[in-house]
Amino acid sequence: MLDRFAWIVAVRQLRFGISQTLLTVGVVTASVTLIIFLSSLIGGLQKRIVSVTTDSIPGIVVMQPDAAPITMKDYLRDGDRRLYFIRKTGQEQRKSKIEDWQIWLPRLRRLDDRITAVSPVVEGQTILSGPAKRQGIRVAGVIPETHNRVVEIQNKLVAGRYYGISTGDLVIGKRAADDFGLKLGDRVSLLTQEGDAVSYRVAGIYKTGSNAVDRSSVFVILKDAQSLFGLGNAVTSIDIKTSRLFDAEEIASRIRLQIPYKVESWMQENQQLLSALRGQSESSRTIVLFTVMASGLGIASILITAVVSRLREIGIIRAIGATRRQILSIFMIQSVIVSALGGSLGCVMGVGFSLLLYNARLASSPAKDEVFPPAISWQLVVGSFALAVVVGLVAAIYPARKAARVNPIEVIRGA
């Protein structure tokens, strides 16, 4: 039950000690502003890095396992006489293809609720030959409308089309198109395994933001790629999209137990990126920890100063009948009020500074798509506010208990 007397005294003391009140509110405001600003900035950078890395690749890839080479031992002796000598240093690796992919597509969709899309893919390296240049290129044969749910290309087109491409059409990355001097409608050739050149028309140009993808990958329809690489009706992999990016490895582990193929997640292939993200997260948490500690110490020191300067006042309040519980409540209430005020101002200023910096960078940067937005969420704002109030309460415990232990007789005699 709220103590009306404690509330009246707490608010009155805050009003009369306005300079101390504003100083405490300022400490909390600065701390919350810093927490939101840095957290949103680092979070936005991480999202940008992960987005550039993963938007152009599937979360999970199912493929045929590599065939292990077989080596037969040397058979040499029968006593001192050599009988025969056979050595086979390797075995021709079978083609990496999945023949029964049509059976596995519906099974994979039903395997986990977090699997949102499944797409058959034919992938391989070949030679792209343009009017004045030849270069190795990665060809991905897909069903565009299906594969776009796994790897977004349609919304990243800068020219032409991706949906609805047909036999003989090719969609190329912006970097590769610039390197070859290509535009919509131009003709290029892809070499088959037999060395024959197959002509394709540039039907679309896309830009993902990843130079590695935009410079080295082209898309054709699935049947064209099957013909190009001599796979018949087979595919080389099945690409999978998950609803939660960082659940990919967990889902991949489940899939490995269910199918006779090799299963890899993007997390396996990007260990260095994950290590860098963990390092950034640790740095962010360390900054927040020291900011919180500084805020708590600041609040505690200001409240201790308030207790020392108000000993006579506290003694008089105790002498007229206030209980130790009420004195304790007065300082705890004051801490909640200043923490809530500072937390609210800090949330507004933290969000405001983050958006102000983003808009300033957006206005001054020539490459708009390279400017990443801050990762501001209601969880961050509410969490920062709650953290400010909790830290304020914890910081007020010592000075509040010190005030509650004041002996009114000794204070009044010493006055």
State the residue range of the domain holding 102: 88-260
Q: Is residue 14 in a domain?
A: yes
Residue finishing a domain among 202, 235, 260: 260
**CA dist., res. 271 & res. 109, Å (int):** 26
Is residue 393 situated within a structural domain?
yes
Cβ proximity of 235 and 98 under 8 Å: yes
Look at residue 268 and tell me if it is in a domain.
Answer: no
Q: Is residue 75 part of a domain?
A: no
Same domain, 227 and 137: yes
Are residues 318 and 392 both part of a single domain? yes
Instruction: Tell me: do 145 and 238 sit in the same domain.
Output: yes
Tell which of 199, 231, 260 closes a domain: 260
Number of domains in the chain: 2
Q: Are 167 and 118 in contact (CB under 8 A)?
A: no
Write out the two tokens for 129: 């030959």
Interval 197-240: pLDDT, tens? 899 999 999 998 777 788 889 999 999 999 999 898 999 999 99
Max mean pLDDT among 89-103, 255-269, 336-350 falls in 336-350
The answer to whether 302 and 24 are in contact (CB under 8 A) is yes
User: 95 to each of 115, 226, 259, 270, how far by Cα in Å?
Assistant: 28, 13, 19, 26
Name the band, by pLDDT with cuts 50, 70 and 90, for residue 53: low
With 90 as the cut, is the pLDDT of residue 66 above it?
no
At 1 the pLDDT is 45
Q: How far apart are CA 242 and CA 125, in angstroms?
A: 26
Same domain? 170 vs 247: yes
Give residue-wise pLDDT tens across range 102-127: 999 999 999 889 999 999 999 999 99
- Among 204, 226, 260, give the residue marking a domain's end: 260
The reply to whether 289 and 255 lie within a common domain is no
Assess whether 127 and 50 both reside in one domain.
no
Residue 59 lies in a domain: no
Strands (E), 46-105: 60-63, 77-78, 81-82
- Residue 63 maps to a domain: no
Residues 171 and 143 in one domain: yes
Same domain, 139 and 281: no
Residue 101 · residue 238 · CB < 8 Å: yes
DSSP string of 276-295? Answer: HHHHHHHHHHHHHHHHHHHH
Is 372 found in the same domain as 394? yes
Asked whether residue 220 is domain-assigned, the answer is yes
Same domain, 226 and 289: no
Rounded Cα distance, 140 and 327, in Å = 73
Do 122 and 253 lie in one domain? The reply is yes
Query: Measured between alpha carbons, how far is 210 from 54 in angstroms, rounded to an integer?
Result: 10
Tell whether 243 and 365 lie within a shared domain.
no
Q: Which of 122, 100, 103 is nearest to 222 (CA)?
A: 122
pLDDT over threshold 50, residue 163:
yes
Residue 344 has pLDDT above 70, yes or no: yes
| Nearest one of 298, 296, 304, 297 to 392, comparing CA atoms | 296
